[in-house]
Amino acid sequence: MRRFRGKTLWLWVARGLLVVACLFPLYWILNVALSSPNALYKRPLDYFPNPAVSENFRAVFEVNQFPRNIANSFVVASLTTLLTLALGAPAAYALARLKVKRKNLIMALFLGIAIFPAIGMIGPLYLGMARLGLINRYPALVLPYTLLSLPLAVWILTHFFSTLPTSLEDAAMVDGCTPARAFFQIILPLAAPGVFTAAVLIFIFAWNEFLFALILTSTPESRTVPVALALFAGLHELPWATIAAATVVSVLPVLALVALFQKRIVEGLTSGVEQ
Amino acid sequence: MRTMTAVALCCLAAMSLVGCSSQESGDIQIVFAAGNDPSGATEALVDEYNAAHPGVRVEFQAMPANTDTQHDAYVTYLSARESSIDLYSLDVIWTAEFARAGWIVALPEGYIRTDEFLDGPLASVTYKGTLYAVPWFTDAGVLYYRKDLLEEAGVPVPETWTDFRRACREIAEPRGMDGFVWQGARYEGLVCDFLEFLWSVGGTLDEATVVERPADAERGVTEALGLMLSFLDSGISPAGVLTYKEEDSRRLFTEGRALFLRNWPYVWSVAEGEGSKIKGLAGIAPLPHVEGQTSYSTIGGWNIALSTYSEHPDEALDFLRFITGERSMKERAIEGGYLPTLRRTYEDADVLAANPHFASFSEVFQNTRNRPRSPHYPRMSDIIQENVHRTLTYEIEPATAAADMVRELAEIMAE
Amino acid sequence: MNARQRARLAFWLLAPALTFVVVLGAFPVLSQFALSFTKFNLKFADERGFAGLSNFAQLVSDGVFWQDLGHTAYFTVVSVGLELVLGLAAALVLNRVLRGRTAMNSSLMVPWALPTVVAATMWSLLLNDRIGLVNSVLERLGLMGEPIVWLGPRLAMTSVILADVWKTTPFVAIILLAGLKSIPNQYYEAAALDGAGRWAVFRSITLPLLKPFIAIAVLFRTMDAFRVFDLIWVLTGGASRTETLSIYIYRVLFRYGDLGYGSTMTVALFVIVFVLSLGLIRFMRISGETR
């Protein structure tokens, strides 16, 4: 009993530290967003907004087309995630499960793309997107983002698929299942935590990317969140309280979405298979 | 697997459908790319122009106001020969670079009346004797001081560095305040601050001096670096100043924790605004200098130029005349506090009513200088930044830094 | 399914992804290789031409390049090492959480989900020597005499690394957590029956089965750390020996407009990281084999 209590205590301390380390800045940003712009430098500092104000949030929605920018980020990040998984999952399945000639070469090719510094790619990609007339349209961002995130997706999924026992699909195929059905009904649900992990990493990467978004979009209606955040600053001034409020407005939905997605879909899929 | 392919195809189809397209109409479209104006004055002016000019539609493409960010974007557009953007706002240090690259075109003879503009901004739009842009708004380094504390101690606003240091020792030190804060981080702002210190000790980095009399240039640089080090060594400036940009140093001043601040004119409205702890307590003066010398302010600000790849240069030039015209400058000064480049706007009653402090800037604007004007400026700026910052962090000796700096600059100037 | 059917299936599964990568990636990547053999400055159109290997010769004798390579390597080794240790610890802790798991996992995501520029600006405010929160807390706790200049000459690299560790440890933790979840419970049950201690279970079951995921996390973090840009650019601008290769490349490509030499450095960075990755893969003995 004694030992058990000690063990739990240790775990609780570790959990507490983890949550504090991760959430502290969010708390701080929320505090800034809800305080008047100069409260940040008050000494001694107020640990809670005193008094709480909504002017920073109002400023976010007043000046810019911020809701539209959030919607754009949402569409771009979702499409990037879907396209990357649609291209990456089959490839990863083939690499993990089927005998592929020059497999190492293919893995290395994906890796090579991931290594190439994005800074050097922006010029040529701009030229290409401009020729295709895609500037200010979603594909201008979705296509480069997919290119940049495909390697990670392929590598993660390949390893996930290869950890699953082959007996399951073999059994399914003996039962007359097509490979496609075996993939969708057996492999994919089993690999749900892996697919989810890849999806989250891709989604957040696409949500936060700045340089491509800056250069490949130009109208206020087509900007994404990171560029919109940069537009709040003046030439010298940094209205940090407004930026904090805008950050809160844009980060909370992402976190809520990720939590919801994980609870409903991933755990649903995984537990369905286990039963 | 067909389902996966179908998902992929649907994604592509969805993207091409829901992308945002620009309005199609018979109007000639002029796109004007510039740093965002949070006051909204620029957008209002563009709307006003559009209303008065049927057949032409000007779009204001707001970019992040940050200099580096705009530079990256514009370089990418222009090297791709992008024709959809007609007018670009350019930082004063880019004129030579963009003109040499052939990205912006020389303005027609007599396009602006040069005698109406302030000298410093006008020089910044000139490359090899030709005008390549129109000055839009300006900036210059100034010294902010705590009027109340100087008066209380019966100390006049210091004009020389000796008096300045004494004021710091006598007023700031006993109060536990910082004496002098400025921009010492390694970035473009450090070049502006360094040049002001250099000029205040009588030094210069003119092409003529650097190439023909390098020993003189070195002597000036060494002395300026010694001056900056003396602030750090004596504790007049906090060690952290080497990590400060504009806002970091401004915050210390408006929080009432520093006696003197070197910064741009924007600080005035922040200091007088809501939430400032020194409302009504700040004063503006030219920077101090050593005895027998004069101080100069580094010029900042932005100009507007016509892209070489514009498909409607005539219409674009017409709009350029409007947006850099007197009405526009007055409007932007009143609404956004941007400092005009036309001389007479500084005497305008409406402008002065909205910006009473503009009157105090006139003394500062008597003595302004540009940073070196060269297509190689970005490299020159990095050389200055690196040598200055490494000296201030005690990595190298002032004399070594000065010799390296002058030699490397001379090599570039000779190219 | 016979071998030929399998091969054909594999081909059709791989074709879309490979086509996509080649069509979209070939031009940007190959143009860099081509440019590295030219003298090509955006601003000096009249001075362009074939340069042979002169850019590479310049690279070999460029002190700044090698010095920045050193900074980059130091940054990468220390930050990825810390991220691996902390990420593994976080994943192990989170894997044992039953109630409130979703909330814990979401809070882990916060640093990763903050835009880099916002996170960097936030840290520069927190670390300000005079009015930053970190110093004022230390002062209140009586742990500090003189204000600590976190981004100054002595501590700049350490502060930058800590900010990066804070921001990207979740990336490692998320991958490792998914890896932990993929270990079937039967293994642990069998080990429990054998009466294995916790350390023994960790060493002989968890760690070996987690190895491929550790390798992926380390691989992708190493590649990202080697290209670190935004965070350092905002926090120090590359001052006080924190300039990394990406910052140098950025200066040469964007600020100087020197596409020839900039591309040469890009190619060199590519080769260095590629060789490093292959070494890492060989060392970790992973390439996606079915175990």
Is C11 within 8 Å of chain B by CB? Answer: no
**What percentage of chain C carries pLDDT values higher than 70?**
97
Chains that touch C (3 or more CB pairs under 8 A): A, B
Region C32-53: mean pLDDT is: 91
Ordered DSSP codes for A112-171: HHHHS-HHHHHHHHHHHHHHTT-TTSHHHHHHHHHHHHHHHHHHHHHHHHHHS-THHHHH
- The maximal CA–CA distance of chain B, rounded, in angstroms, is 85
Those of residues 159-178 in A touching chain B at CB distance below 8 A are none
Report whether pLDDT(A271) > 70: no
Nearest chain A Cα distance for residue B93, angstroms: 15
Asked if C277 and A115 come within 8 Å (Cβ–Cβ), the reply is yes
In a domain, B174, yes or no: yes
Nearest chain B Cα distance for residue C204, angstroms: 38
Identify the closest residue of chain A to B257 by CA–CA distance.
A41
By C-alpha distance, which of C15, C177, C170 is closest to C83?
A: C170
Highest mean pLDDT among A88-102, B119-133, C275-289: B119-133
Task: Please check whether residues B189 and B268 belong to one and the same domain.
Answer: yes
Greater confidence (A102 vs C160) lies with C160
pLDDT band at C289 (very low <50, low <70, confident <90, very high): very low
Of B217-231, C59-73, C136-150, the range with the lowest mean pLDDT is C136-150
Which pLDDT score is estimated for C247?
94
Task: Please check whether residues B214 and B238 belong to one and the same domain.
Answer: yes
Which pLDDT score is estimated for B9?
55
By C-alpha distance, which of A188, A202, A213 is closest to A254?
A: A202
Contacts of B387 (CB under 8 A, 6+ apart): B396, B401, B402, B404, B405
**CA–CA distance, A236 with B336 (Å, rounded to integer):** 13
pLDDT by position in tens, chain B (length 415): 455 555 555 555 555 544 444 445 689 999 999 999 988 899 999 999 999 999 999 999 999 999 989 998 999 999 999 999 999 999 999 999 999 999 999 999 999 999 999 999 999 999 999 999 999 999 999 999 999 999 999 999 999 999 999 999 999 999 999 999 999 999 999 999 999 999 999 999 999 999 999 999 999 999 999 999 999 999 999 999 999 999 999 999 999 999 999 999 999 989 998 888 999 999 999 999 999 999 999 999 999 999 999 999 999 999 999 999 999 999 999 999 999 999 999 999 999 999 988 888 877 888 999 999 999 999 999 999 999 999 999 999 999 999 999 999 999 998 8
pLDDT band at A45 (very low <50, low <70, confident <90, very high): low
**CA–CA distance, B177 with B154 (Å, rounded to integer):** 18
Placement of tokens 């122009």 in the chain: B49
In a domain, B4, yes or no: no
What are the structure tokens assigned to C55, written together?
A: 């850019």
In a domain, B293, yes or no: yes
CB half-sphere exposure, C11, CA atoms < 13 A: 6
What are the structure tokens assigned to C41, written together?
A: 């400055």
Domains in chain C, CATH or no CATH each: 67-284 (1.10.3720.10)
**CA–CA distance, C222 with A246 (Å, rounded to integer):** 31
List of chain C residues whose C-beta atoms are within 8 Å of the C-beta of residue A93: 13
Q: How buried is residue B289: exposed, middle or buried, by Cβ count under 10 Å (0-12/13-18/19+)?
A: buried
Task: Please check whether residues B277 and B401 belong to one and the same domain.
Answer: yes
Of A47-56, A190-199, B102-111, C121-130, the range with the lowest mean pLDDT is A47-56
Asked if C152 and B239 come within 8 Å (Cβ–Cβ), the reply is yes
Q: CA distances (Å), B71 to each of B95, B103, C14, C250, in order?
A: 12, 13, 40, 12
Q: Is the CB of residue A72 less than 8 Å from the CB of residue A66?
A: no
**CA–CA distance, B214 with B202 (Å, rounded to integer):** 15
Report whether pLDDT(A119) > 90: no
Q: Is the CB of residue B349 less than 8 Å from the CB of residue B170?
A: no
Cβ density class B85-122: b for 16+ within 10 Å, e for less:
bbbbbbbbbbbbbbbbbebbbebeeeebeeeebbbbbb
**CA–CA distance, C101 with C106 (Å, rounded to integer):** 9
Task: Please check whether residues B210 and B266 belong to one and the same domain.
Answer: yes
Q: Which long-range contacts (CB under 8 A, 24 or more apart) does A250-254 make?
A: A250/A70, A250/A73, A250/A225, A251/A26, A251/C110, A251/C113, A251/C114, A253/A70, A253/A74, A254/A203, A254/A204, A254/A207, A254/C113
Task: Please check whether residues B247 and B395 belong to one and the same domain.
Answer: yes
Ordered DSSP codes for C93-116: HHHT--TTHHHHHHHHHHHHHS-H
Q: Is the CB of residue B276 less than 8 Å from the CB of residue A37?
A: no
Asked if B65 and A234 come within 8 Å (Cβ–Cβ), the reply is yes
Instruction: Tell me how long chain A is.
Output: 275
By C-alpha distance, which of A117, A53, A68 is closest to A231?
A: A68
Which pLDDT score is estimated for B15?
54
**CA–CA distance, B382 with C255 (Å, rounded to integer):** 10
* CATH number, residue B214: 3.40.190.10
State phi, psi for B258 to the nearest 5 degrees. Answer: -140, 145
Name which of B75, B186, B240 is nearest C254 (Cβ-Cβ).
Answer: B75
Name which of B248, B379, B393 is nearest C240 (Cβ-Cβ).
Answer: B393
**CA–CA distance, A118 with A121 (Å, rounded to integer):** 5
Q: How buried is residue C199: exposed, middle or buried, by Cβ count under 10 Å (0-12/13-18/19+)?
A: exposed
**CA–CA distance, B338 with B335 (Å, rounded to integer):** 8
Q: Is the CB of residue B372 less than 8 Å from the CB of residue B380?
A: yes
Nearest chain A Cα distance for residue C153, angstroms: 25
Q: From the candidates B243, B277, B377, which should be mutated to test the interface with C, based on the most C CB atoms within 10 A?
A: B243
In a domain, B8, yes or no: no
Cβ–Cβ contacts within 10 Å for residue B393, how many? 20
Which pLDDT score is estimated for C195?
83
Asked if C153 and B394 come within 8 Å (Cβ–Cβ), the reply is yes
Amino acid code (one letter) for C22: V
Ordered DSSP codes for C4-69: HHHHHHHHHHHHHHHHHHHHHHHHHHHHHHHHTTEE-BTT-GGG-EE-TTHHHHHHHT-HHHHHHH
> Coil, strand, or helix at residue A10?
helix
Of B334, B351, B369, the position where a domain reaches its end is B369
**CA–CA distance, A231 with A243 (Å, rounded to integer):** 10
**CA–CA distance, B123 with C77 (Å, rounded to integer):** 49
Chains that touch B (3 or more CB pairs under 8 A): A, C
pLDDT band at A64 (very low <50, low <70, confident <90, very high): low
Nearest chain A Cα distance for residue B79, angstroms: 8
pLDDT band at C77 (very low <50, low <70, confident <90, very high): very high
Those of residues 11-40 in C touching chain A at CB distance below 8 A are 13-14, 16-18, 20-21, 24-25, 27-29, 31-32
Report the interhelical angle of A240-261 vs A66-97 (nearest 10°): 40
Q: What is the mean pLDDT of chain C?
A: 89
Domain extent at residue B345: 26-138+301-369
Task: Give the number of beta-carbon pairs within 8 Å between A and B.
Answer: 117
Asked if A214 and B72 come within 8 Å (Cβ–Cβ), the reply is yes
Task: Please check whether residues B310 and B380 belong to one and the same domain.
Answer: no
Which pLDDT score is estimated for B223?
97
Task: Please check whether residues B316 and B292 belong to one and the same domain.
Answer: no
Nearest chain B Cα distance for residue A11, angstroms: 39
Task: Give the number of beta-carbon pairs within 8 Å between A and C.
Answer: 249
Q: Is the CB of residue B185 less than 8 Å from the CB of residue B162?
A: no
Which pLDDT score is estimated for A24?
85
By C-alpha distance, which of C254, A229, A236 is closest to B65?
A: A236
Task: Please check whether residues B151 and B230 belong to one and the same domain.
Answer: yes
Region C260-286: mean pLDDT is: 87
Alpha helices in B26-111 (DSSP H): 41-52, 67-79, 95-100
Q: Is the CB of residue B196 less than 8 Å from the CB of residue B141?
A: yes
Task: Please check whether residues B104 and B187 belong to one and the same domain.
Answer: no
Q: CA distances (Å), B414 to each of A176, A231, B385, B408, B409, in order?
A: 79, 39, 20, 10, 9
List of chain A residues whose C-beta atoms are within 8 Å of the C-beta of residue B337: none
Domains in chain A, CATH or no CATH each: 1-53 (no CATH), 56-274 (1.10.3720.10)
Cβ density class B137-151: b for 16+ within 10 Å, e for less:
bbbbbbbbbbbebbe
Name which of A82, A123, A214 is nearest B79 (Cβ-Cβ).
Answer: A123
Task: Please check whether residues B257 and B403 belong to one and the same domain.
Answer: yes
Name which of B22, B59, B275 is nearest A37 (Cβ-Cβ).
Answer: B275
List of chain B residues whose C-beta atoms are within 8 Å of the C-beta of residue C239: 185-186, 242, 389, 393
Contacts of A10 (CB under 8 A, 6+ apart): none
Nearest chain B Cα distance for residue A181, angstroms: 8
Task: Please check whether residues B70 and B149 belong to one and the same domain.
Answer: no
Name which of C90, C131, C246 is nearest A117 (Cβ-Cβ).
Answer: C246
Highest mean pLDDT among A108-122, B222-236, C263-277: B222-236
**CA–CA distance, C220 with C223 (Å, rounded to integer):** 5
Identify the closest residue of chain B to A137 by CA–CA distance.
B19
Contacts of A157 (CB under 8 A, 6+ apart): A88, A89, A92, A93, A96, A191, A194, A195, A198
Which pLDDT score is estimated for A274?
46
Those of residues 198-227 in A touching chain B at CB distance below 8 A are 211, 214-215, 218-222, 227
In a domain, B10, yes or no: no
List of chain B residues whose C-beta atoms are within 8 Å of the C-beta of residue C28: none
In a domain, B15, yes or no: no
Which pLDDT score is estimated for C291?
39
**CA–CA distance, A266 with A260 (Å, rounded to integer):** 9
Task: Please check whether residues B172 and B205 belong to one and the same domain.
Answer: yes
pLDDT band at C286 (very low <50, low <70, confident <90, very high): low
Nearest chain B Cα distance for residue C257, angstroms: 8
Q: What's the number of domains chain B is made of?
A: 2
Instruction: Tell me how long chain C is.
Output: 291
In a domain, B3, yes or no: no
In a domain, B6, yes or no: no
Q: Is the CB of residue A214 less than 8 Å from the CB of residue B64?
A: yes
Name which of B5, B239, B252 is nearest C131 (Cβ-Cβ).
Answer: B252
Q: What is the mean pLDDT of chain A?
A: 84
Nearest chain A Cα distance for residue B264, angstroms: 8
**CA–CA distance, B89 with B304 (Å, rounded to integer):** 4
Report whether pLDDT(A2) > 50: no
